[in-house]
Structure 1
Amino acid sequence: MKTKRIEAYMCRTFKTTAEDGIPIYTIHLASVETSPKPPLTMDKEKYKGAYFEVTRGDYSPLLKLVNENLSKAMEYAANDNEKNMIKHYINSFREGDLNEHKEGSRYWIRDKGPIIETYQGFIETYRDPSGQRGEFEGFVAMVNKEMSKKFGSLVENAEGFIKLLPWGQDLEKDSFLRPDFTSLDVLTFSGSGIPAGINIPNYDEIRQNEGFKNVSLGNVIPAAYKESVIPFLSEADKQLLEKYRVAAFEVQVGLHELLGHGSGKLLRQNADGTFNFDKDNSPGTRRARRTTASSPHWVPPSRSAAPRPWDSISRCSPRYSSKEAEDVMYAHARARFVLMRLLELEGDGLLSVRETVPGADLLLSLQRDRLATDGKRIIGDFLVKLQAIKSTGEVAAGEALFQRYSELQEPWNRWRDIVLLHKQPRNIFVQPNTRVEGNNVELRRYAASAEGMVSSWVERFPDTSVDVVLETLADQDRRHYCELEALAV
């Protein structure tokens, strides 16, 4: 796919066997249209002992429904940016053309401060083991004006904050692209999970050169913490966390989206052979050489987008399916575990964990008076290494760095069982519906219960037409998953 400059956001790949016994990999683009259309599609070619072909039409009946509704939404667009945004989304889903979605995302960036915010497509890649294929998702949300003022102030001061980051100007973008940063209250979010904040689009060539939007989903944070249990802390620390956790997490989301995703430069070689940095005299390049083992120390033109280490090199987390498992998931969970272990291993008592009840309970203690000194130094040194890895796209070096701190060595391999004893059920978010009555719109709310969840879904999907489509698509794919079905029996 790299040789053909195909990005995997909106495709699935199926492996079958050709008539001559050679494996054939079918890269199937999601689109309404099903007929071949070069260069989007590609006839069968042989490459490194296997056949490859690119087809389209995956999820065709579902995307047809999506486009029908997007066409209706276009009638209510507030301006030309919104109209063009939706037009290019429709083109992308109809043709299976990722560049059309990128073009729609450019118009989305230009649509500054809308009252109603929406974005959809094959977006986040966290659930893909290879970290490349996007999960289809979409949201509709309303601006929280009061909270957005606070985030606007954060953006106004962002350039000053960036100068305080530990890696220095040579690994920072040539100019800060001031993003739109708003706090939204989610009306509906369709996907496998609802994040507390997002920084999109994910296309690095757009983020680096044209900009992005930061979004804090404000009503998700208090909902996620409602009635949550806090294990492994002293009573005093529990009270402190309960008092400040929502406010602290709002600040964390703001800084994470604005600075964590919005800062740092990709050292890139352009297609014409030039570089976007001084490859011979850049202090950043010299620092990268000290941090990473491979060469060259930049992102080559053959890679359409450089991986973001806090995403692609941390696809995994300590939530192992078993103690022996090597494949782990959940980027942010692993990152939190790595930061904790970093302070534990490098902090000389700054953070400690001990087993208070054998096989049943743990106590985490933190010397808060040392956070601004030793803690800041330890985290800063780690961030410099991480930024050098991000700038050069050195995934192997990043994985080695994260593996060092996320490995479950003794006693953590035992403590994992204790952690699982305290594991709480996953949150299920009950989302409202809207109903149009004449010139008025009614917001239908539901109880935060299993009954409320069922009622919300029944009223949202009153007929079974979508279910029929899903079942038909599942039957069409069944031959690719027959071995998995046999294992499940």
Structure 2
Amino acid sequence: MKEKDNGFVYTVEQFADLQLLRYRVPGFDELSLRQKTLVYYLSQAALEGRDILFDQNGKYNLQIRRLLEAVYTDYEGERTTDEFRAFEVYLKRVWFSNGIYHHYACDKFVPDFSEGYFRQLVDSLDESRLPLEEGETKEAMCGKLFPVMFDPSVMSKRVNQADGEDLVQTSAANYYEGVTQQEAEAFYAAQKEPGNDKPVMFGMNSRLVKENGRLKEEVWKAGGMYGSAIEKITGWLEKAETVAENDSQRKVIRLLIEFYQTGDLHTFDEYSIEWLKDTESHVDFVNGFIESYGDPLGMKASWESIVNFKDLEATRRTETISSNAQWFEDHSPADVRFRKEKVTGVSAKVITAAILGGDLYPSTAIGINLPNSNWIRSVHGSKSVTIGNLIDAYNKAARGNGFREEFVYGEDEKALLDKYADLTDNLHTDLHECLGHGSGKLLPGVDPDALKAYGSTVEEARADLFGLYFLPDAKLVELKLTPDTEAYKAEYYSYMMNGLMTQLVRIEPGCNVEEAHMRNRQLIARWALEHGASARVVELVKRDGKTYVKINDYPALRDLFGRLLAEIQRIKSEGDFEAARVLVEKYGVRVDKELHEEVLARYRRLHLAPYKGFVNPVYRATTDSENKIVDVSVDYTEGYAEQMLRYSREYSNL
């Protein structure tokens, strides 16, 4: 595996099903001192919320992490045994997943060491080093935490999406306490005002609990739940405000601080609108409660942050896409009733990530489209980013790893991928984020939350299909986004191979597909396979005992994607919950057991990790005698465990 580029080593380490990479921050040294200082302050704010995500992902995660870390740093016994090595892997997995649940599959991963062995490790420590809660004994702590860690039946899934079950009571995510799904849905439905065309995202920044028989929200704000971490975040944001690049960015930061201080969702909408308007700043950031994939009901948002600056050269591609947004909307295969008459405020850029935090660390997205509010998207537009340096790190680390040789059908397909795949993969991400999420509209009176637990999957499918449908279009050649009319085939092949087969390496044997993005990809691929079967548009074929994807008619596959996009947009626009449920459950959830076993066996022979994440660079500020920053440097040498332990020391705020 080639993992070096001009001396830069991308791969840090690999364990379990995870590979840790580094990413470069090209262009940082060319920033002005003011911009470097802004990145430094915003990066500190991005790290201060780490504990929030751990707690959101499970109510015992923080105490478990601290107990594991105490053992890791203080245990003086033998560290070369199989059980201690298994303990190290478990801790590294907890760090990676921000808790004891798999970051992608949401299943609890059970330790490969025994409960008795772990008790010996804990007993070897001085009690003063244990993370005991006030008045808690060691016995009580172990009695509370050990079943959560070791018993597969206790709090087994972070997010349960099984149709027909109470998704709130069967999910371990720490967004609800003593509340049923029906109660939660009724609580938030009652808050919505009929006819209000600018609704806030109710429940986005709170935990819903039942006390003395009554439901109440514990709001995440300064002085409220997570207040100690939020106050640290706002402290760094206040410093960032002093070095903002312009008045527009300064207003964005001020409104975000105000939202954190008050918890007022109307203020969050104001902040989102001003953030959308700020398209001139070179440095940008996201910091807050953003995505709702971790809530089984798709309302409550996990904490995340990314600090970035614009990649000016690569941004020309996304600016070309966004400047033609109306053409794409007008030529969508969706019914004209569901299209926007006028596309507003679509801005897009390629960015260089400077730091990742919360739900974007260590595993991260490669593209982001925000805000998530439907009415703000409709009136004010959206801002889309493709994270160029992270995509580059993924590509560099993957070269020569044997994956294509094992899973791609033939030499023609390999040649397509070698020639076009990097380009078309980036372009599909751009179309997904820049246009897909911002396309279409809800019909008047349709509740944005009408699709409930299926909303995230449907939305991701809609954005993916938008990109897939337009990739082959002659318009992209005309805009010089693709070099010819053959390039799109590389993305079509890799997408169908992933959706039908290779993403199954991320699923444990016997499990269904749970994560929204994976459900979306399988839904699209399986639907296209079935609906193109009579014409053999796409096939699963056997050769030498191995299964491969074979695409026989690429133009016909585009037509299938267009048909499905039209239906997905209808479901979204009309809020057709039952149609969403049937589509996702039929195509997106269940796994072909025999094919799954085959794919896992073939993948194991490659000794690859199906999931990847990143170690952050370290920013160091140099100050003068008056404590004024005179320079900020970036360092790439910190190791994974070293970084995680330092974050736990320096940013443990809850």
TM range (shorter): 0.7 to 0.9
Matches of 2:365 and 2:511 in 1, distance apart? Answer: 29
Of 615, 624, 634, the match for 1:443: 634
Matches within 5 A, 1:170-185: 170-185=337-352
Whichever residue aligns with residue 464 of structure 1, its letter is R
- 1:371 counterpart (554, 560, 567): 554
Partner of 1:483: none
When residues 101 and 407 of structure 1 are mapped into structure 2, their CA distance, relative to the original with a 3 A threshold, is closer
Q: How does 1:90-239 map to 2 (within 5 A)?
A: 90-192=257-359, 193-225=363-395, 226-227=397-398, 229-230=403-404, 231-236=406-411, 237-239=413-415
Cα 1:335–1:324 shift into 2, 3 Å: closer
> Which residue of the partner structure matches residue 431 of structure 2?
255
> Is 2:214 the counterpart of 1:29?
no
Which of 449, 452, 456 is the aligned partner of 1:311?
456
> How many Å apart are 1:156 and its aligned residue?
1.9
1:429 alignment partner, SS class: strand
Residue 91 of structure 1 deviates from its aligned partner by 1.5
Indicate if the aligned counterparts of 2:298 and 2:455 stay in contact, CA closer than 8 A: no
Q: Which amino acid aligns with 1:213?
A: K
Q: 1:156 to 1:313 in 2, by over 3 A?
A: closer
Q: CA deviation at 1:428?
A: 2.3
CA displacement 1:197-245 (0-9 Å, x = unmatched): 1110111111111111011111121222322534422352344324422
Output aligned runs, 1:251-400, within 5 Å: 251-269=427-445, 299-300=446-447, 311=456, 313=458, 323=510, 328-348=513-533, 349-356=536-543, 361-367=546-552, 370-372=553-555, 374-400=556-582
Residue 25 of structure 1 deviates from its aligned partner by 3.6
Q: CA deviation at 1:399?
A: 2.1
Give the letter for the 2:378 counterpart: Q
Cα deviation for residue 180 of structure 1 reads 1.5
Asked if the contact 1:32/1:61 (under 8 Å) is kept, the reply is yes
Give the conservation status (yes or no) of the 8 Å contact 1:29–1:58.
yes
Give the conservation status (yes or no) of the 8 Å contact 2:369–2:437: yes
* Structure 2 equivalent of residue 8 of structure 1: 203
AA paired with 1:135?
Answer: S
Are the structure 2 counterparts of residues 116 and 324 from structure 1 closer, same or farther at C-alpha, using a change threshold of 3 Å? closer
Q: How far apart in 1 are the matches of 2:514 and 2:268?
A: 27
Q: CA deviation at 1:136?
A: 0.4
- Quick one: distance in 2 between partners of 1:111 and 1:315? 26
For the Cα contact (< 8 Å) 1:148–1:182, is it kept in 2? yes
Task: Measure the CA separation in 1 of the matches of 2:585 and 2:227.
Answer: 40
User: Contact 1:197/1:217 (CA < 8 Å) preserved in 2?
Assistant: yes
1:337-360 Cα offsets, whole Å, 9 max, x none, are 1222122111132222245566xx
CA distance in 1, matches of 2:589, 2:562: 21
Unaligned runs of 5+ in 2: 1-187, 193-200, 462-502, 624-629
Aligned residue type for 2:597 = D
Stretches of structure 1 that go unaligned for 5 or more consecutive residues are 34-56, 270-298, 471-489
For the 8 Å contact 1:314–1:402, the answer to whether it is kept is: no
Change in Cα spacing, 1:320 to 1:234, as seen in structure 2 (3 Å) is: closer
Note if contact 2:249-2:278 (Cα within 8 Å) is conserved in structure 1. Answer: yes
Alignment CA distance shift 1:118-1:314 (3 Å): closer
Q: Distance in 2 between matches of 1:104 and 1:82?
A: 10
Given that 1:167 and 1:384 are in contact with CA atoms closer than 8 Å, whether structure 2 keeps it comes out as: yes
Rate the CA distance shift 1:205–1:304 in 2: closer, same or farther, 3 A: farther
Residues 437 and 459 of structure 2 are in contact (CA less than 8 Å); yes or no, is this contact kept in structure 1?
A: no
Does the 8 Å CA contact 1:113/1:182 hold for their aligned counterparts?
no
Tell me how far 1:329 sits from its aligned partner: 2.6
Which range is displaced more, 235-244 or 153-162?
Answer: 235-244
TM-score, normalisation: structure 2: 0.56
* Amino acid in the other structure paired with 1:90: I
Distance across 2 between alignment mates of 1:130 and 1:322: 26
Is this contact kept in 2: 1:201–1:207, CA < 8 A?
yes
Q: Name which of 391, 400, 403 aligns with 2:585.
A: 403
| Cα deviation digits, residues 99-146 of structure 1 (max 9, x gap) | 212111111111013211112110011122221111101111111001
Q: Which amino acid aligns with 1:223?
A: A
Structure number with the higher helix fraction is: 2
Report the counterpart of residue 87 of structure 1 in structure 2.
Answer: 254
Q: 2:612 is matched with which residue?
A: 427
Q: CA offsets per residue over residues 146-176 of structure 1, 9 Å max, x none?
A: 1111111112222222222101432111311
Q: 1:406, CA displacement in angstroms?
A: 2.3
Q: Which moved more, 1:207-216 or 1:421-430?
A: 421-430
| Higher relative contact order, chain-length normalized (CA < 8 Å, sep 6+) | 2
Amino acid of the structure 1 residue aligned with 2:621: V
Q: Residues 18-54 of structure 1: CA distance to partner in whole angstroms, max 9, x if unpaired? A: 3xxxx44442110112xxxxxxxxxxxxxxxxxxxxx
Q: Which amino acid in the other structure matches residue 570 of structure 2?
A: A
SS at match of 2:208: strand
Helix, strand or coil for the counterpart of 1:58?
coil
Give the conservation status (yes or no) of the 8 Å contact 2:292–2:300.
yes
Post-superposition shift, 1:308?
11
Instruction: Give CA-to-partner distance per residue, 1:287-337, whole Å, 9 cap, x none.
Output: xxxxxxxxxxxx05xx67887976254799976656365xx4322222111
Match of 1:244 in 2: 420
Seen in structure 2, the aligned counterparts of structure 1 residues 153 and 307 have a Cα distance that, compared at 3 Å, is: farther
Equivalent-residue separation in structure 2 for 1:181 and 1:60 (angstroms): 33
How far apart are the structure 1 equivalents of 2:451 and 2:380?
Answer: 16
Task: Measure how far apart 1:405 and its partner are.
Answer: 1.9
Superposed, 1:30-109 pairs within 5 Å as: 30-33=220-223, 57-109=224-276
What is the rounded CA distance, in whole Å, between the counterparts of 2:632 and 2:244 in structure 1? 17
Report the Cα offset of residue 417 of structure 1. Answer: 2.3
Distance 1:215 1:158, change over 3 A: same
CA contact (8 A) 1:203 1:305 kept: no
> For residues 64-110 of structure 1, what are the alpha-carbon distances to aligned partners after superposition, in whole Å with 9 as ceiling and x for unaligned?
11111111111111222212211111111122222212111111111
For residue 362 of structure 1, report the CA deviation from its aligned partner: 2.5
Residue aligning to 2:9: none
- Report sequence identity in percent: 25
3-state secondary structure, aligned to 2:633: strand
Distance 1:312 1:268, change over 3 A: farther
Q: Give the partner amino acid of 1:208.
A: S
Is the 1:308–1:390 contact (alpha carbons within 8 Å) kept by the matching residues of 2?
Answer: no
